[in-house]
Amino acid sequence: MAAISQTTAAVRDVEQYKYGFVTDIETERAPKGLNESIIRFISAKKDEPEWMLEWRLKAYRYWLTLGDQEPTWAKVTYPRIDYQDSYYYAAPKQQAKYESLDEVDPKLIETYNKLGIPLKEQQMLAGVAVDAVFDSISVATTYKKKLQELGVIFSPISEAVKTHPELVKKYLGSVVPYSDNFFATLNSAVFTDGSFVYIPKGLRCPMELSTYFRINEKNTGQFERTLIIADEGSYVSYLEGCTAPQRDENQLHAAVVELVALDDAEIKYSTVQNWYPGDENGKGGIYNFVTKRAACRGRNSKVMWTQVETGSSITWKYPSCILQGENSSGEFYSVAITNNRQQADTGTKMIHIGRNTKSRIVSKGISAGRSSNTYRGLVRVQGKADGARNYTQCDSLLIGDRCSANTVPYIESRNPTAQTEHEATTSKISEEQLFYCLQRGMTQEEAVSLIVNGFCKEVLQTLPMEFAVEAQKLVAISLEGSVG
């Protein structure tokens, strides 16, 4: 039908990435390449204690033994990455410490304003504290004082290493060990900044915590590390957002996120990923190779991942839950949109170890243009996980006829009392649906946005209120140009 062919035709024409600008700011960088002295340089820049440097070096030495053995099982293709042709540390030149936000370089404040993330507390969304990470360092954390009074620690991880070494030592690498996988090992060696969160016993954190990642420098990898610990009976909702300038070369983003939920604790982790996706021919864009994992260690603990993935030229990401505690539960809600030449291989792993553990997976993949979108998920029920339950639902929506959607579910059950359910659908935006909307006066873009948002609704409604509206708009923007 003509509407669909118009749709496909237009996918190729337009690239609408409004965060593609570059901030002109003086930067301090480590020399190009990766070796022990670069790692020592990063550690020294961060003024780290010896044990942290040792941990990094251990990871680096292990990484060397891996050779070039990047994981190859994902359904993505890209040219070999030259790890020596990249910078591993870049930071805006500035005074070492800010006493208040007024001292932050106005250019940085302006950058975040342009991104829609005001750092001045009086302008902020009520009830959201933000940590802003620019290239390799955290430039500002808002509402710090107020959170401190409650006993919440919300700070750049580079700071937490010094101020709360006992917590960092105890939990860093306890969910994603330095030897976990190629990219996580690399991250362990060279991670530069990221957020650290600790919620004390029994506290329901009254505001959303949020980190905003921005890659600005050319040829620079971003390797952030986030660690969130929810102590017994606590609750926190955390949101992560990210963008990068529009550049012709690919940039590597290899983050690690570790979550730990103790008895009766709950963590809600939401991501709106909008890294630069590359142009319509697949030139440029971020390689988003990320390891995210939660340990539900305590009884009745709960972790909920929600991700809206619209950016990056390649996404390789499987936010997972290790359900150790009895009666713990993990949920994964995902919207992954690929357009033009984007490739996404994303999903989750739910590892049921404890008794009566529950997991729920809802994945919505939308492919347009010539993109490839794969859901890959593992549900594993171990021998002692009596009464474990999983429900998985994977829906794919295709726009046009040159994209692909794949669903690769792995289910392994070693306990006969476990119940797992898997449902999958693949559909197209039909000519009937489009015409119906047009006949009511909507433009093609409004129509596609409405239909796609309807398709994703179950996932989008799990986002914190403040961001759900933003996410809906983002869904529309990332499909802009996929209609005529």
Partner 1 sequence: MALLKIKNLHANVAGKEILKGISLTINAGEMHAIMGPNGTGKSTLSNVIAGRDGYEVTSGEVLLDDNNLLAMSADERARAGVFLAFQYPVEIPGVSTSNFLKTALNAKRRAAGLPEIDAMEFLKLVKAKTKALGIPDDIIKRQLNVGFSGGEKKRAEVLQMTLLEPRIAILDETDSGLDIDALKVVADGVNNLRSADRGFLVITHYQRLLNYIVPDHVHVMSGGRIVASGGKELALTLEAEGYAKYQAA
Residues that bind partner 1 (CB under 8 A): 1-3, 430-433, 435-444, 446-447, 450-451, 453-458
**Judged by CB, which is closer to partner 1: 279, or 446?**
446
Write down the least CB distance from residue 395 to partner 1, Å.
Answer: 10
**Judged by CB, which is closer to partner 1: 401, or 431?**
431
Q: Residue 289 CA to chain centroid, in angstroms? A: 9
Euclidean distance between CA atoms 462 and 458, whole angstroms: 7
Write down the least CB distance from residue 445 to partner 1, Å.
Answer: 10
Q: Which residues pair with 296 in a beta bridge?
A: 261, 323
**Judged by CB, which is closer to partner 1: 219, or 433?**
433
**Judged by CB, which is closer to partner 1: 419, or 443?**
443
Write down the least CB distance from residue 473 to partner 1, Å.
Answer: 14
Euclidean distance between CA atoms 189 and 194, whole angstroms: 14
**Judged by CB, which is closer to partner 1: 199, or 434?**
434
Write down the least CB distance from residue 3 to partner 1, Å.
Answer: 5
Q: Which contiguous run of DSSP H or E holds residue 159?
A: helix 157-163
Write down the least CB distance from residue 401 to partner 1, Å.
Answer: 15
**Judged by CB, which is closer to partner 1: 51, or 436?**
436
Tokens matching residue 67: 């050779």
Write down the least CB distance from residue 304 to partner 1, Å.
Answer: 20
The set of residues, in sequence order, having a beta carbon less than 8 Å from that of 270 and lying 6+ positions away, is 237, 238, 239, 240, 305, 306, 307, 308, 462, 463, 464, 467
Beta-carbon count within 10 A of 440 CB: 9
**Judged by CB, which is closer to partner 1: 2, or 126?**
2
Write down the least CB distance from residue 358 to partner 1, Å.
Answer: 24
**Judged by CB, which is closer to partner 1: 142, or 396?**
396
Euclidean distance between CA atoms 283 and 249, whole angstroms: 7
What secondary structure does DSSP assign to 5-58, as a single string? HHHHHHHHH----TT-------EEEPPSS-SHHHHHHHHHHTT--HHHHHHHHH
Q: What are the backbone dihedrals phi and psi of residue 108, each rounded to the nearest 5 degrees, phi first?
A: -70, -45
Q: Residue 309 CA to chain centroid, in angstroms? A: 8
Beta-carbon count within 10 A of 470 CB: 15
Write down the least CB distance from residue 450 to partner 1, Å.
Answer: 6
Q: Which of 225, 132, 210, 130 is nearest to 175 (CA)?
A: 225
Euclidean distance between CA atoms 233 and 349, whole angstroms: 24
